[in-house]
Chains A and B, each alone.
Chain A
Amino acid sequence: MKFKYIWFFIALLCTAVSFGQIKIKGTVKDKANVPIPGVNVIVKGTSTSTATDFDGNYVINVPNKSSQIEFSFVGFTSQTVSIAEKTEINIVLQESSQALDEIVVVGYAAVKKSDVTSSISSIKGKELQTMTVGNVTESLQGKVSGVQVTGQGGPGAQPRVLIRGISTVNLSTDPLYVVDGIPMGTSINFLSNNEIESMEVLKDASASAIYGSRASNGVILITTKKGKVGKARFNFDLSSGMQIMNNPYNMADAESYATIMNTAYNNSGYSDYLPNPSQYKGKTTDWWRAGIRTGTPVTNASFGVSGGSDKHTYAASINYYNSDSMYGVGGWERVTMRIANDFKFTDKFSAGITLNPRYETWGAPGNWADFDKIDPITPIYKPADQLTGLENEYSIYARSPSYIWNPVAAVKRYDDYTDQYNLNTNGYLQYEPIKGLVIRTQASVEVGDKIWSKFTPDFVIDAAHEKAEINTIERRATNNVDWTWQNTATYTKTFAEKHNASLMIGNTMEEYNGNDVWGYGEGVPNNSESMRELNAATKNRNSGGNSWSSSLMSYISRFSYNYDGKYYFTGTFRRDGSSKFMANNKWANFPSASVSWRILNEGFMEKTKDVLSDLRFRAGWGKVGNQNLPSAVYQSNIGQGFYVIDGQVVDTSYPSSMANKDIKWETVEDVSFGIDFGLWKNKLSGSLEYYQKKTHDMLFLKQFPTYSGFPGYSTMWTNVGSMQSSGIDLLISYKDKKGDFSYGADLTFTTVNVEMLSLSSDGEKLYGASNRTLTVKGEEPGYFYGYVADGLFQNQTELNSHTDEHGTKLQPYAKLGDIRFKDVNGDGKLDDKDRTKIGSPWADYTIGLNLNFGYKNFDLIANFYSSIGNDIVNQNISDLYNGASLTNKVSGLEQMAWHGEGTSNYVPRLSKDDNNENFTKFSSLYVEDGSFVRMKNLQLGYSFYNKFGLDKLRISLSGQNLWTWTNYTGVDPEVAGGDPNTGDRVKGSGFGGWNYPVQPTILMGLNVAF
């Protein structure tokens, strides 16, 4: 009975309490009308709270009508709503890119953005997906301060990405890409931008030292899309359009070509090369039109589904990218799938697995320059009277006297393709035995198979000059199996409310194995498609094969601490052991430390909080390495060479490279200082950073001294020299909303100064790009090194005065209209010693400006990128302006070139002989200002929400690379590094030529979510 009263009393009390409360319910969704599970719903000023369920629904009791409810969720801007008379409140949360509680991936961990102490830039996948690109780094251009991206045209081309300049001269400058925690090398061509959830760029060593020996060029962490709790949600993204390839030059027609060549011949004292030019009027061969497609299709498509429950989330997508080449033959095609499953078996035990099968195929001719360079008089096909009827289909083309091989015929013969198949499996197990302690093991296996096939048909276009008398077939199959296993334990604890600490320790193991087999044969009975097999070759069959392996074992740790959200410290330590080095230097340590002071949280800053939303200072230091050298440089190698001895060709062996037992990593030591700020609730925010990084023990491939007895071409890798990069990164963002109109702008500004501090010996000169660049102590690496073209000789007086002090002509073969080369050292001779610095491939600064506007359901984005202060060597000048060769020239060259006093001070006179070496001497004639501003992307979109039975439907129209403002007269001002195979990756930077340009592209886009 007693209990009955008690129960009655309790029930009465509850009724009384609830009697004064109001029950509020509703749904929380995002802008795309997708329910958001797990949103915190709190009655402001009370401890009453709840969370949205699987479908975004919530129910909460509030004390009275004057109460306010606050809705908050990671990655979204919190909203506070007054109750008043409402009983149902439906909320649409807006995504926030600047939220300080946003999670940032930092390498083997993820932390809140506010806790980051080092230099890390984040960019969301959505921003990267605004452009249709094959390689996602192309879309990164201008969006992250401190990152310079130089675009490369052509299907499958990989842009050059430099993070805070360069820190090496001889090794790769590409950053390390880490996808979902697994290092994937220095290229991400395999990844569709639609697969990416977010990207973090680790810019300084305090951030990247956790990746140790591969982090000297910076690290880019990529997180792919994962499933989210909620109902199954389907997405379909399609972007399709045309890449435009207009002829960058207005080439001479047949009549004009004859006039130009005759002028060149006459100026050199020869009779006309093509008498009576008017006879060629109307007989121009339009090679460009015959072989180059003005518009080539490009398509990027993705279809995915994601969703899940508290116990299991999933995301699956299939992605397709296709870019045809401008030749109408070949291109690049990529199909990838990504299937991610995450399981939460218990509160303590979870696991996940991601499968990523991929297929790529690529290959395209590369001779588009020949369509401009071949003379316009030669017809495409041989005239009928020259055909015997016995020619095969590749032999019916005409031969050009210009010595340019018929480009239409070359494209017709093209058969050089690569297919690549990969499967990546990435899984993890995670166990949390006690609160705050997470033990995780993650493993990845990458299996790849690449097959390269090439067939060259036999043909005879000209018996002496343009032929292949026997067909050849070649095929190479390359397999790789790489695996990674990493184990970490992380303990996070808050002591005495204000001391927040986290310690992570772990180890990783990686192994990379590859092998290839290769076969070659000649004399396939005919050129038909079905016969293009090695087994069909009847002559000179040959084969080869090789295998290689490298491995890395590491121990890693990170300690993070902050006091009361004001003072932060992070220290990391990595110890790497690499198979690339011998016992003396097999292991190396890569420590880092960084501190941050979030001054805004100090009491004395309280009054500024109306204006300031964030203010903190950062400083970091760290050491990272570069081990991107060939796998087995610690081995001595024997090379093979053929020599004629006593009239006999003898197969000989010689020591081609020698082991250096002391070889070790290039080490980059980096310090950086930064300030992050936010104003007016982060409407205006940004960061400013200064960095300085020094590279020690740089790796150089050095020749042996003559007295050593080794042949001159024997080489050895050795650690010598040092260099330094320093600069400023600046990011300023502004965003606001006025009614239905929202707008925002991000400005990135990056400066880089690079200087060689020392080389292997005093006064050493490192030449690059066929002696056209020089690298010396105290200067930036790879500056353009040549003669100074001091205008043209306009009259006889100028010509006569260009002598030494005794009247000896400095340029004895010069004539009026030739280039006057400067006697730089004033010694009265024009020789190698007069070569000097004539330009720099390195930009003074790069700028990105990213604008976005929204009005109701319309959205507009515009991205601009600019590189200022760099020079480019326009190698095409020789092809286009030099009368010494028989290749076609630009239209009107006879008027552009010097033809009398005052007619030109830039383009030398036309000359068949070029005795003055106007074009063969590398001079400032070739060096042009490479600065440019490019509109990377302009996109207008319109979204429908909850229409047509869909959650969201967005259509868009965009133009990429539509406008470029530059004084550079070459093909494209985006010019990257030189040939890495000749060691010119850095030392050959900035040489523009007939590089496949970054093409303007017009695209239609469609995004559907349901």
Chain B
Amino acid sequence: MKKNLFLFFLAFFAILTGCQNNESEFPSSDDPTVVVSTKEIYGAPSRKFEIKAALADDLGLKSVEIQIPELSLDKVISFATDPLLKSYDLSYFFEVPANRGTSESFKIKLTITDVSGNEVNEEINLRLDGEFAAPSITMITPKEGAVILLSTSNEMPVIFVVNDDSGIDYVQVKCDALGIDETVQLTGSPQSYTFNKTYTLPVTAADYVLTITAKDKFAIPNTGSLSVNIVATNEYPAIYLCDQPKGTNLTTDAVGVPMYFHEKNGQDFEFKYYADSDNKEIYFLGQESDFAPHCFGLNTSGELADDVNSSPIILPTKGYYVIKVNPNTLKYTATKYTPSSKVWANIANGLWHDDEALRRPFVSVCGGGIQGADWDTWTAWVQTGLHLANNPNNPYQLVGEYTLTGTMEATFTGQWWNPSWRLIKNGICTMSPGENGNAKYPAAAGVYKVVLDTELERVFITKK
């Protein structure tokens, strides 16, 4: 009996020991303090906002809880207690769900607890009617990469339009090399402003960067900026062949429009070009992204002229041409020729095979920014949607359709890179071994038409 009694008390004390309270092991202390950086935060649907506060405690912080029940936020940040943390700068970002309305507002509740168990609360207002878009700057002239031929004129007109919903505070134009630092302070917070001013350039060739900045008038101001690279030269660094009608946006393609020259000797530029129809109309451009300022076409006398109002040069019949042009002497020639390079026929019936003798060439693509493609030629084989087909109208052209997902790079390839064409800078698609390095081309996501011209060693990837 005594034994049982002993066991009972042993068990009883064991339970008591096991049930000791779990209260804080830290001594009592003062309440923690919280200083928020602002009592009102602006947010917007699909946009992150920041909750900032300085937390402190005389003994040590234990945790901070951030709650916005309506937006399903209940975040607890716990702090290490060895060593104790006496102060903490809270900086917490949270994205407002897209489905919330801009007229809504909420309370952000902060609960700060210290290691002694003291707890304080703080509330911050959250408004969703914030305006966070930077002023948009639309460049009229000069466009990115513009070439100013000093022999023609050393004046540089600068025209751009700024738009902002909450109104524009000021616009600033800077170019350190040219000593331009001009700020236009606007009154009345207009939502739109057009800047128009002509600057004079030195007569020596140089590259310039023009930086345009615009700031809006929102409670938390937003600033937008844009940099434009300009080349002032006595010679054209490059000439492009454009077979698009005037007015066409030349920046929507991924690669190839307008077409970069093939050979250059001084100011003698040589192109190889395929006219896919009779009476094909072409121009020569002094810059890649626009018809202005240098567009070479025919004047009323039928002579080559640097004039954005000139008429197109007409290639009379369908086929391959060698075209030579000199923008200084304003002379050009267009000579039709018959290609003699290898024809990659019947690639639709290509076959992957480990035995080289049994392989049949196919042409697909490896690269990045192309849906379905990676850098594995097996992927290029199994992703049949990437396979190019022969253009029935031109044996030297392989055609297809790709979905681009962003900045792209590519090598058109068969099994184990044989055959392969590497896409390098300026739309040049060099056949292996060729030049090294794949160039990256920014492209908007979407479906594109692809034309690989094996005779020209050029690829044209244009928005469908």
> Given the interface contacts A469-B353, A469-B358, A540-B355, does A801 sit within 8 Å of B384 by beta carbon?
no
Give A646's nearest chain B residue, CB to CB: B433
- Complex-state Cα separation, A244 to B210, whole angstroms: 81
> Given the interface contacts A464-B384, A470-B355, A647-B433, does A807 sit within 8 Å of B74 by beta carbon?
no
Hey, which chain A residues are within 8 Å of B93, CB to CB?
806-808
- Complex-state Cα separation, A801 to B73, whole angstroms: 6
Hey, which chain B residues are within 8 Å of A796, CB to CB?
72
Is B331 among interface residues, defined by CB-CB distance under 8 A?
A: no
Q: Please provide the chain B residues from 368 to 409 with a CB less than 8 Å away from any CB of chain A in the complex.
A: 382, 384
User: From residue B219, how far is it (CB to closest CB) to chain A in Å?
Assistant: 22
Is B48 among interface residues, defined by CB-CB distance under 8 A?
A: yes
Partner of A801, one of B74, B358, B432: B74
What per-residue 1/0 map shows which CB atoms of A873-899 lie under 8 Å from chain B?
Answer: 000000000000000000000000000
Hey, which chain B residues are within 8 Å of A465, CB to CB?
382
Is A294 among interface residues, defined by CB-CB distance under 8 A?
A: no
Give A801's nearest chain B residue, CB to CB: B75
What per-residue 1/0 map shows which CB atoms of B88-131 lie under 8 Å from chain A?
Answer: 00011110000000000000000000000000000000000000
Give A403's nearest chain B residue, CB to CB: B382
Hey, which chain A residues are within 8 Å of B330, CB to CB?
none
Flag if B72 contacts A464 (CB, 8 Å): no
Hey, which chain A residues are within 8 Å of B358, CB to CB?
469-470
- Complex-state Cα separation, A714 to B71, whole angstroms: 57
Is A479 among interface residues, defined by CB-CB distance under 8 A?
A: no
> Given the interface contacts A464-B384, A470-B355, A647-B433, does A807 sit within 8 Å of B72 by beta carbon?
no
Flag if A805 contacts B77 (CB, 8 Å): yes
User: From residue B360, how far is it (CB to closest CB) to chain A in Å?
Assistant: 11
User: From residue A405, how far is it (CB to closest CB) to chain B in Å?
Assistant: 14
Is B76 among interface residues, defined by CB-CB distance under 8 A?
A: yes
Give A465's nearest chain B residue, CB to CB: B382
Hey, which chain B residues are within 8 Å of A797, CB to CB?
72-74
Give A803's nearest chain B residue, CB to CB: B75
User: From residue B241, how far is it (CB to closest CB) to chain A in Å?
Assistant: 32
Is A77 among interface residues, defined by CB-CB distance under 8 A?
A: no
- Complex-state Cα separation, A807 to B108, whole angstroms: 14
Partner of A800, one of B75, B382, B433: B75
Flag if A800 contacts B384 (CB, 8 Å): no
Q: Please provide the chain B residues from 437 to 456 with a CB less than 8 Å away from any CB of chain A in the complex.
A: none
Hey, which chain B residues are within 8 Å of A807, CB to CB?
48, 75, 92-94
Hey, which chain B residues are within 8 Å of A803, CB to CB?
75
Q: Please provide the chain B residues from 67 to 87 with a CB less than 8 Å away from any CB of chain A in the complex.
A: 71-77
Give B80's nearest chain A residue, CB to CB: A826
- Complex-state Cα separation, A801 to B48, whole angstroms: 15
User: From residue A808, how far is it (CB to closest CB) to chain B in Å?
Assistant: 7
Hey, which chain A residues are within 8 Å of B48, CB to CB?
807
User: From residue A820, how far is it (CB to closest CB) to chain B in Å?
Assistant: 14
Hey, which chain A residues are within 8 Å of B384, CB to CB?
464
What per-residue 1/0 map shows which CB atoms of A481-494 lie under 8 Å from chain B?
Answer: 00000000000000
- Complex-state Cα separation, A795 to B355, whole angstroms: 54
- Complex-state Cα separation, A540 to B354, whole angstroms: 12
Hey, which chain A residues are within 8 Å of B77, CB to CB?
805
- Complex-state Cα separation, A465 to B91, whole angstroms: 53
Q: Please provide the chain B residues from 176 to 234 with a CB less than 8 Å away from any CB of chain A in the complex.
A: none
User: From residue A539, how far is it (CB to closest CB) to chain B in Å?
Assistant: 8
- Complex-state Cα separation, A540 to B356, whole angstroms: 12
- Complex-state Cα separation, A799 to B74, whole angstroms: 10
- Complex-state Cα separation, A470 to B358, whole angstroms: 10
Give A799's nearest chain B residue, CB to CB: B72
Give B352's nearest chain A residue, CB to CB: A464
- Complex-state Cα separation, A464 to B92, whole angstroms: 52
Q: Please provide the chain B residues from 49 to 72 with a CB less than 8 Å away from any CB of chain A in the complex.
A: 71-72
Flag if B74 contacts A806 (CB, 8 Å): no
What per-residue 1/0 map shows which CB atoms of B416-433 lie under 8 Å from chain A?
Answer: 000000000000000011
- Complex-state Cα separation, A977 to B355, whole angstroms: 37
Flag if A464 contacts B382 (CB, 8 Å): yes
- Complex-state Cα separation, A54 to B74, whole angstroms: 92
- Complex-state Cα separation, A647 to B419, whole angstroms: 11
Q: Please provide the chain A residues from 151 to 194 with a CB less than 8 Å away from any CB of chain B in the complex.
A: none
Hey, which chain A residues are within 8 Å of B74, CB to CB?
797, 800-801
Hey, which chain B residues are within 8 Å of A647, CB to CB?
432-433
What per-residue 1/0 map shows which CB atoms of A779-822 lie under 8 Å from chain B?
Answer: 00000000000000001110111010111100000000000000
Hey, which chain B residues are within 8 Å of A799, CB to CB?
72
Q: Please provide the chain A residues from 895 to 938 with a CB less than 8 Å away from any CB of chain B in the complex.
A: none
Q: Please provide the chain A residues from 394 to 450 with a CB less than 8 Å away from any CB of chain B in the complex.
A: none
- Complex-state Cα separation, A492 to B136, whole angstroms: 106
Hey, which chain A residues are within 8 Å of B75, CB to CB?
800-801, 803, 807
Flag if A806 contacts B91 (CB, 8 Å): yes
Partner of B72, one of A470, A540, A800: A800
Flag if B73 contacts A800 (CB, 8 Å): yes
User: From residue A948, how far is it (CB to closest CB) to chain B in Å?
Assistant: 64
Give B74's nearest chain A residue, CB to CB: A797
User: From residue A564, how far is it (CB to closest CB) to chain B in Å?
Assistant: 44
User: From residue A798, how far is it (CB to closest CB) to chain B in Å?
Assistant: 9
User: From residue A469, how far is it (CB to closest CB) to chain B in Å?
Assistant: 7
Give B49's nearest chain A residue, CB to CB: A807
> Given the interface contacts A464-B382, A805-B77, does A795 sit within 8 Å of B92 by beta carbon?
no
- Complex-state Cα separation, A46 to B77, whole angstroms: 92
Hey, which chain A residues are within 8 Å of B94, CB to CB?
800, 807
What per-residue 1/0 map shows which CB atoms of A636-659 lie under 8 Å from chain B?
Answer: 000000000001000000000000
Hey, which chain A residues are within 8 Å of B71, CB to CB?
800
- Complex-state Cα separation, A378 to B452, whole angstroms: 38
- Complex-state Cα separation, A807 to B72, whole angstroms: 13
- Complex-state Cα separation, A800 to B69, whole angstroms: 11
- Complex-state Cα separation, A464 to B353, whole angstroms: 10
Q: Please provide the chain A residues from 441 to 480 with a CB less than 8 Å away from any CB of chain B in the complex.
A: 464-465, 469-470
User: From residue B349, how far is it (CB to closest CB) to chain A in Å?
Assistant: 10
User: From residue B154, how far is it (CB to closest CB) to chain A in Å?
Assistant: 50
What per-residue 1/0 map shows which CB atoms of B127-141 lie under 8 Å from chain A?
Answer: 000000000000000
Hey, which chain B residues are within 8 Å of A800, CB to CB?
71-75, 94
Interface centre among B48, B91, B92 (most CB of A within 10 A): B92
User: From residue A814, how far is it (CB to closest CB) to chain B in Å?
Assistant: 14
Hey, which chain A residues are within 8 Å of B72, CB to CB?
795-797, 799-800
Give B349's nearest chain A residue, CB to CB: A463
- Complex-state Cα separation, A570 to B382, whole angstroms: 69
- Complex-state Cα separation, A795 to B69, whole angstroms: 12
- Complex-state Cα separation, A24 to B48, whole angstroms: 108
User: From residue B412, how far is it (CB to closest CB) to chain A in Å?
Assistant: 17
Hey, which chain B residues are within 8 Å of A808, CB to CB?
93
Give B69's nearest chain A residue, CB to CB: A797
Interface centre among B72, B91, B432 (most CB of A within 10 A): B72
Hey, which chain B residues are within 8 Å of A540, CB to CB?
355
Hey, which chain A residues are within 8 Å of B432, CB to CB?
647
User: From residue B379, how far is it (CB to closest CB) to chain A in Å?
Assistant: 13
- Complex-state Cα separation, A39 to B341, whole angstroms: 102
Give B78's nearest chain A residue, CB to CB: A826
Flag if B353 contacts A801 (CB, 8 Å): no
- Complex-state Cα separation, A803 to B91, whole angstroms: 12
- Complex-state Cα separation, A810 to B185, whole angstroms: 44
- Complex-state Cα separation, A805 to B52, whole angstroms: 12
> Given the interface contacts A797-B73, A800-B72, does A805 sit within 8 Å of B353 by beta carbon?
no
Binding site for B on A (CB under 8 A): 464-465, 469-470, 540, 647, 795-797, 799-801, 803, 805-808
List 17 additional A-B contacts (Cβ < 8 Å) besides A797-B74, A800-B73: A464-B384, A465-B382, A469-B358, A470-B358, A647-B432, A796-B72, A797-B72, A797-B73, A799-B72, A800-B71, A801-B74, A801-B75, A801-B76, A805-B77, A806-B91, A806-B92, A807-B48
The 3 A-B pairs with the shortest beta carbon distances in the complex, nearest first, are A796-B72, A807-B93, A797-B72
17 A–B contacts from the bound complex (CB under 8 Å): A465-B382, A469-B353, A469-B358, A647-B432, A647-B433, A796-B72, A797-B73, A797-B74, A799-B72, A800-B73, A800-B74, A800-B94, A801-B73, A801-B75, A801-B76, A806-B93, A807-B75
